[in-house]
Structure 1
Amino acid sequence: MLSFSGTHIETQRLILRPLEAEDATELLAIFSDPEVMKYWNTPPWASIDDALDFVAANRVSMQEGEGLTLGIFTQDPYQLIGKCMLFSYSKSSRRAELGFGIGAPFWGKGYIQEAGQALIEHAFTRIGLRRLEAEIAPGNIASAKALERLGFIEEGFLRARWEIDGVVSDSALYGLLLDDWQAQRL
């Protein structure tokens, strides 16, 4: 059985590693912010239990080879700034969904691009995926631009896909194929 538990990725400025219970306070500070959660399909986290439950559930998911969730840490100073994920993993179809979230003070500094490139390379070269998918709110222009810079192509639109706290929202679907990613790197 495939396990993602030991995954550790370093980039020029970042360390991507599995989250620990000790990271819960910093996670809560990021994902309880309504601005950070504005386009997510879940409401902002309300308590430390939300963060601890997230860490525990994702550790199990990684141990069972169902998904990969890594904290995004800056190297200097060493600080948790967000998370990146591969989820809805299908071994037989060799695909997964990619997701990111970082704290508002770190927006616009290129961290999503840096972490995204590293996670995409890991997905295609280490895990052996052939397709990555991403789903975002159509109004989330920053995420759309980030995905496009990473090589994703908008592939579709789902109307009235989510309802969070009584608000119905649509979804834009993006995809990146291994073949396209390899061609972009030439």
Structure 2
Amino acid sequence: MSQDVFFPRVETERLILKPLLPSDAPGLLAIFSDAEVMRYWNTAPWADVQEAIAFIEKSNESMRGQQSLVLGIWLRSTDELAGKCMLFSYDKASRRAEIGFGLARSCWGRGYISEAGEALIQYGFDSLGLRRIEAEIDPANQASAKALGKLGFSHEGLLRQRWEVNGVVSDSAIYGRLLSDHPARHG
């Protein structure tokens, strides 16, 4: 598989998905230092720009190693960094990966996750040859559950007491979407 397949530029009607650069760190910090954005994550909000830089460096290294795909989400109309989307825990032999998103609060409720998500899912199925994409969310995160439903994911189970962050224990809801779930979308 070509190295370039892990550094794509994917365009939709309103969005551009592309790899993050070190110069994107301040914009990324502005998004992921927001406690509301990070409310259901298994890590605390970022505290300084070094965390954003480290995330970008780790993401790009993981992409060079063909272990994950981490793309920034930009608004085409303003070239504003709106968030990030990821296919991670990539298992080439099993043709599966996990999907994740993070979006600036100012961009919530505008359908960007559905738009970026479907583009990323199609890229995973068509370019990475995935057969299965999984998502793990906090069961209390109803916005993510709704977004996953719109993206064609099925709720598959619950992992009890999966995470503990800052002394708070939470469960994980598991969702999955198979290549065969929506065959008309591929090609």
Give yes or no for TM over 0.5.
yes
Q: 1:46-65 residue pairs with structure 2 within 5 A?
A: 46-65=47-66
* Structure 1 residues without counterparts, runs of 5 or longer: none
> Is contact 1:5-1:59 (8 Å) kept?
no
Query: For residues 39-73 of structure 1, what are the alpha-carbon distances to aligned partners after superposition, in whole Å with 9 as ceiling and x for unaligned?
Result: 00111001101000000000000011000000000
Give the letter aligned to residue 90 of structure 1: D
Q: 1:184: how far off?
A: 6.6
Count of matched residue pairs: 185
CA deviations over 1:8-42 (Å, ceiling 9, x no partner): 10000000000000000000000000000000011
Correspondence for 1:79 = 80
Which residue pairs with 2:161 in the alignment?
160
Matches within 5 A, 1:83-122: 83-122=84-123
**8 Å Cα contact 1:28/1:45 also seen in 2:** yes
Residues 126 and 86 of structure 1: CA distance in aligned 2, closer, same or farther (over 3 Å):
same
Q: Distance in 1 between matches of 2:56 and 2:179?
A: 29
With normalisation by structure 2, the TM-score equals 0.96
Aligned to 1:146: 147
Q: Would you say the 8 A contact 2:6–2:68 is kept in 1?
A: no
State the AA in 1 paired with 2:38.
M
- Runs (4 or more) in structure 1 with deviation over 6 Å come to none
Structure 2: tracts of 5 or more residues without a match = none
1:6 Cα offset (Å): 2.5
Cα shift at 1:181: 2.3
* Paired residue type of 2:115: E
Quick check: 1:157–1:170 contact (8 Å CA) kept in 2?
A: yes
- In structure 1, C-alpha distance between the alignment counterparts of 2:147 and 2:7, rounded to whole Å: 27
Q: Secondary structure at the match of 2:127?
A: helix
**Seq. identity, %:** 57
What is the match of residue 178 of structure 1?
A: 179
1:6 alignment partner in structure 2: 7
Distance in 1 (CA, whole Å) between partners of 2:94 and 2:60 is 23
Please state how far the C-alpha of 1:2 moved relative to its aligned partner. 4.8
Distance 1:183 1:5 in 2: 24
